[in-house]
Amino acid sequence: MELNKRILLAIDPGNELSAYVVWDGLKIQDKGKVPNHHMLKVITAYGLNYPQGEVCIEQIAHYGTGMPAGRTVFDTCIWIGRFVQCLEYLFDREPRLLERRRVKSHLCGDSRAKDGNIRQALIDRYGEPGTKKAPGMLYGVSADVWQALGLAVTAWEVEDGKD
């Protein structure tokens, strides 16, 4: 990896597990879905391996649906705060926070898109995941890692305030 090459860690946080993708703008360098306490270790290793690397975390947003937020939403917010604190304390940097509707708008052209639409937009862009014998670039991407990849691609391509 070139010293000055741009690299991004994107995190799709959850209340117990979080998905992540390390993205270089062309391909996935690392990915996974891990328990949140392990995600702190992923952040630490990333910061040590890529001292100039960027970080983007999906931000929880209120969509005005009138539905109450449950405990899992608040637990996720606590973990987002812990991830931000880890970055600030260990590496003196703040992550970029992006709402999921920005990802949906950027990749699908519609903020009302569903997770399956994000997955399909990524497949349309980068090709089928493939098989073990013939893996594609997206081979091994599953579950919430799709959302982390969508976040990575969006954060890579969209500057703050632009879309």
In the chain, the amino acid numbered 105 is: S
pTM here is: 0.91
Q: Round to whole Å and give the CA distance between 144 and 17.
A: 9
Q: Round to whole Å and give the CA distance between 156 and 159.
A: 8
Position 45 scores a pLDDT of: 95
Q: Which of 52, 48, 163 is nearest to 98 (CA)?
A: 163
- Interval 56-104: pLDDT, tens: 999 988 765 666 777 888 899 999 999 999 999 988 888 999 999 999 9
Q: Taking residues 114-143, report their average pLDDT.
A: 96
Report the range of poorest mean pLDDT among 6-10, 90-94, 120-124: 90-94
Position 26 scores a pLDDT of: 94
Report the range of poorest mean pLDDT among 85-99, 119-133, 141-155: 85-99
Q: Round to whole Å and give the CA distance between 14 and 73.
A: 8
Position 16 scores a pLDDT of: 97
Determine which helix (DSSP H) or strand (DSSP E) holds 34, and give its type and residue range.
strand 28-35
Q: Taking residues 4-15, report their average pLDDT.
A: 92
Q: Taking residues 132-161, report their average pLDDT.
A: 93
